[in-house]
């Protein structure tokens, strides 16, 4: 088969168009029967607001409305009109800051600790039961405990990100370090390489691809968890924004935020993938 | 083990009178202890067991291994898989510990790895994230931590050029052929200018053509540096081409040194004409005979002494009884 590099993007565009069309049809106001609806008491209609006046239209927006909303957010992402009305750019910035804070803290703990676990079978066996039990705990289960002990909701959110990013990095670092080829370690031994130089110039580069895989898994999980965590702690962030707009019943804003969450998650993943490519080696 | 009595060895054994050290061993053999100096490297009573679960005292892979290597000598060990050749090399390198016995190099007992002994590993053991040059520089910097970057680089380049890799300095191991990788491994081992070089079947994984050219390079670099070399091989022709002495090991377990063969072929040896030397086939037949038959059937005969494995001169007319 001849390779046609334009075929996949074309199909993607086609699927997208199909999706938009179905969405448009599904949310379009039923024009035939809608107009024939019995006239509402004008006073009740006024109470119910504009939507009721329009004739019982669904709260589910069509693609046109969402596109307009996205454009509105994009054209002014950083406005700040009080606690419950901040631009999407500000909200997402809060979320990214929390994720990076918790994630970097986790990396700071997980990579050195994973190194030690990977180097010492004794410490590995000693810590293994704890890791096995702590790893499967949903990070949100920590939230009440964090709120009680830390008392600050913002820091608690960061703690939750920390705890969920920790395990993949820890386990992967330990595995990567433990499975460094015997022959490279033997080369270092015959060259009388100092322990510190061996750690940084032999073991670290050898284990780097495995460590980066763990880091990539972690950033994905952290980004999943931040939305839920912010729904709980409230105040700021994209998760809080989604919850707030649910209370406002602004589905348009929710869909906009969902798209943005996906986009940022993809960018974070690609960033880590790019780093992984830069440090990976081929045999 | 063969049931044959030792006196019934089918091969017309050219076993010489036992003793000797490697050194300037002339046809008249002498005991090493009568010589004024100790050999540069001395291996005494080496034995290695690998304890297994439920069997703390299994048959040793090899035992009672004694030999010596003189400075500047090229010694090959020839034997079948499983006779513990690689284990002996690892013990010499300090990467493994003997169950019994010891190794003395240059008057000091070998304990743990050291920059005094360079190792070329069976797999090239290059670090795949470093270029050829950086791999060699890593070794040079280990040897000379006080050197400036420029000097380290020049030194590394010099050794890579000795193995004709001056054009591939910045290539990663993945971009090099198997032969080139092994040449980088050789350059790395030579670059630390060790007192002794240990090679563990370095050409085992290479095709015949590549192997030939790297063997020639190895001869060149050994002659240029006057290195003392201990090399493991199972290739008879390789041993004939490279070695001054060929240590023949019996099959494991309980492998031992049956004899040490003196290579009579004059240097410089050239692969193309080597087989035309009169002694070539006598030597080759002797080695092949050992590998196909005697390595399996070897029994210590009267006069055989593990502490002084017999020094054999194949093809020499004066064959002792």
Q: Which residues pair with B261 in a beta bridge?
A: B246, B312
Question: A182 — contact with chain B (CB < 8 Å)?
Answer: no
Mean pLDDT (chain A, rounded)? 89
pLDDT (tens digit, 9 = 90+) per residue, A66-118? 999 899 888 888 888 887 788 889 999 999 999 999 999 999 999 999 999 99
**SS3 at position B198:** strand
How wide is the angle at C-alpha A216 spanned by C-alphas A210 and A217, nearest 5°?
95
Distance from CA of B132 to the nearest CA of A (A): 13
Cβ atoms < 10 Å from Cβ of B270: 12
Q: What is the pTM of this model?
A: 0.81
User: Is residue A219 one of the residues assigned to a domain?
Assistant: yes
Identify the weakest region by mean pLDDT among A16-25, B25-34, B141-150, B223-232: B25-34
For A283, which of B112, B121, B128 is closest by C-beta distance? Answer: B128
Using DSSP bridges, classify how beta strands B229-233 and B117-120 pair: parallel, antiparallel or unpaired: unpaired
Tell whether the model's pLDDT for residue B26 goes beyond 60. no
In A151-250, alpha helices (H): 153-178, 182-190, 195-198, 204-233, 238-247
- Reported as a pLDDT band with limits 50, 70 and 90, residue B25 is very low
ipTM of predicted complex: 0.81
User: Is residue A64 one of the residues assigned to a domain?
Assistant: no
Quick check: B76 and B233 in contact, CB under 8 A? yes
Pairwise CA distance, residues A152 & A158, whole Å: 10
Q: Enter the tokens of residue A142.
A: 């920590």
For B95, which of A186, A193, A281 is closest by C-beta distance? Answer: A186
One DSSP character per residue, A58-110 reads -SSPPHHHHHHHHHHHHHSTT-B-STT-B-HHHHHHHHHHHHHHHHHHHHHHH
Tell whether the model's pLDDT for residue B19 goes beyond 70. no
Contact across the interface for A183 and B125, Cβ inside 8 Å: yes
For A192, which of B127, B128, B142 is closest by C-beta distance? Answer: B142
* Tally of domains in chain A: 1
What average pLDDT does this structure show over B174-200? 92
User: Is residue A106 one of the residues assigned to a domain?
Assistant: yes
Q: What proportions of chain B, in percent to the nearest 5, are helix, strand and coil?
A: 35, 20, 45
User: Is residue A78 one of the residues assigned to a domain?
Assistant: no
Phi-psi group of B270: left, alpha or beta (phi > 0 → left; psi -120 to 50 → alpha; rest → beta): beta
- CATH number of A188's domain: 1.10.3720.10
Suggest the residue from A184, A185, A188, A190 to mutate for an interface test with chain B (most B CBs closer than 10 A). A190
User: Is residue A207 one of the residues assigned to a domain?
Assistant: yes
The structural domains of chain B, ordered by start, are: 37-110+234-303 (3.40.50.300)
**Chain A residues with CB inside 8 Å of B123's CB?**
183
Contacts of B156 (CB under 8 A, 6+ apart): B133, B136, B137, B139, B140, B187, B191
User: Is residue A196 one of the residues assigned to a domain?
Assistant: yes
pLDDT: is B235 or B25 the higher one? B235
For A193, which of B95, B128, B142 is closest by C-beta distance? Answer: B142
**Chain A residues with CB inside 8 Å of B192's CB?**
191
- Reported as a pLDDT band with limits 50, 70 and 90, residue A126 is very high
Contacts of A3 (CB under 8 A, 6+ apart): none
User: Is residue A260 one of the residues assigned to a domain?
Assistant: no
What average pLDDT does this structure show over A210-233? 94
pLDDT: is B132 or B271 the higher one? B132
**Chain A residues with CB inside 8 Å of B172's CB?**
281-282
Contact across the interface for A186 and B123, Cβ inside 8 Å: no
**Chain B residues with CB inside 8 Å of A187's CB?**
119, 121, 125, 127
**Chain A residues with CB inside 8 Å of B117's CB?**
190
pLDDT (tens digit, 9 = 90+) per residue, B155-170? 999 999 988 899 999 9
For A205, which of B129, B172, B192 is closest by C-beta distance? Answer: B129
**Domain residue limits at A199:** 93-235
Tell whether the model's pLDDT for residue B83 goes beyond 70. yes
């Amino acid at each position: 088969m001849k390779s046609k590099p334009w075929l996949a993007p074309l199909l993607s565009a086609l699927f997208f168009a199909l999706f938009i069309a179905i969405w448009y049809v599904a949310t379009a106001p039923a024009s035939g029967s809608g107009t024939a609806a019995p006239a509402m008491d004008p006073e009740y209609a006024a109470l119910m607001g504009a939507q009721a006046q329009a004739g019982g239209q669904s709260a589910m927006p069509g693609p046109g409305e969402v596109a307009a909303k996205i454009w509105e957010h994009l054209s002014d992402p950083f406005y700040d009109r009080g606690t419950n009305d901040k631009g999407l750019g500000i909200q997402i910035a809060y979320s990214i800051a929390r994720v990076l804070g918790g994630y970097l803290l986790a990396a700071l703990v997980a990579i050195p600790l994973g190194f030690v676990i990977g180097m010492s079978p004794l410490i590995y066996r000693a810590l293994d039961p704890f890791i096995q039990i702590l790893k499967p705990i949903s990070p949100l289960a920590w939230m009440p405990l964090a709120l009680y002990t830390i008392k600050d909701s913002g820091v608690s959110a960061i703690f939750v990100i920390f705890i969920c990013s920790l395990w993949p990095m820890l386990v992967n670092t330990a595995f990567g370090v433990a499975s460094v080829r015997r022959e490279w370690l033997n080369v270092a031994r015959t060259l009388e390489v100092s322990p510190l130089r061996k750690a940084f110039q032999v073991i670290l580069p050898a284990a780097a691809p495995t460590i980066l895989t763990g880091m990539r898994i972690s950033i994905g999980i952290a980004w999943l968890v931040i939305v839920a965590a912010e729904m709980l702690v409230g105040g700021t962030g994209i998760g809080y924004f989604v919850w707030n707009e649910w209370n406002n019943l602004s589905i348009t804003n929710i869909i906009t935020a969902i798209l943005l969450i996906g986009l940022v998650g993809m960018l974070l993943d690609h960033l880590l993938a790019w780093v992984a490519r830069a440090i990976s080696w081929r045999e | 083990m063969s049931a044959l009595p030792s006196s019934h060895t089918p091969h017309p054994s050219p076993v010489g009178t036992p003793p000797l050290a490697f050194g300037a061993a002339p046809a008249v053999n002498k005991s090493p202890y009568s010589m004024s100096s100790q050999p540069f490297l001395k291996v005494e009573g080496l034995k290695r067991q690998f304890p297994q679960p439920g069997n703390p005292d299994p048959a040793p892979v090899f035992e009672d291994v004694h030999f010596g290597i003189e400075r500047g000598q090229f010694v090959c060990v020839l034997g079948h898989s499983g006779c513990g050749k690689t284990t002996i090399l690892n013990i010499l390198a300090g990467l493994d510990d003997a169950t019994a016995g010891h190794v003395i190099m240059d008057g000091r007992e070998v304990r743990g790895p050291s920059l005094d002994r360079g190792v070329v590993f069976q797999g090239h053991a290059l670090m795949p994230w470093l270029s050829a040059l950086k791999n060699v520089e890593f070794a040079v910097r280990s040897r000379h931590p006080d050197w400036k970057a420029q000097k380290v680089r020049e030194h590394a380049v010099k050794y890579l050029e000795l193995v004709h890799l001056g054009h591939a300095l910045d290539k990663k191991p993945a971009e090099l052929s198997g032969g080139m990788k092994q040449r980088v491994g050789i350059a790395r081992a030579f670059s630390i200018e060790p007192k002794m070089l240990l090679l563990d079947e370095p050409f085992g994984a290479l095709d015949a053509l590549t192997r030939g050219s790297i063997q020639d390079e190895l001869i060149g670099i050994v002659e240029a540096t006057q290195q003392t070399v201990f090399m493991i091989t199972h290739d008879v022709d390789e041993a004939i081409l490279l070695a001054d002495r060929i240590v023949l090991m019996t099959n494991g377990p309980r492998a031992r040194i049956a004899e040490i063969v003196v290579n009579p072929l004059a240097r410089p040896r050239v692969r193309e004409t080597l087989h035309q030397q009169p002694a070539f086939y006598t030597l080759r037949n002797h080695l092949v005979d050992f590998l196909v038959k005697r390595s399996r059937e070897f029994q210590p005969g009267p006069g055989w002494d593990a502490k002084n494995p017999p020094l054999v001169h194949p093809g020499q007319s004066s064959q002792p009884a």
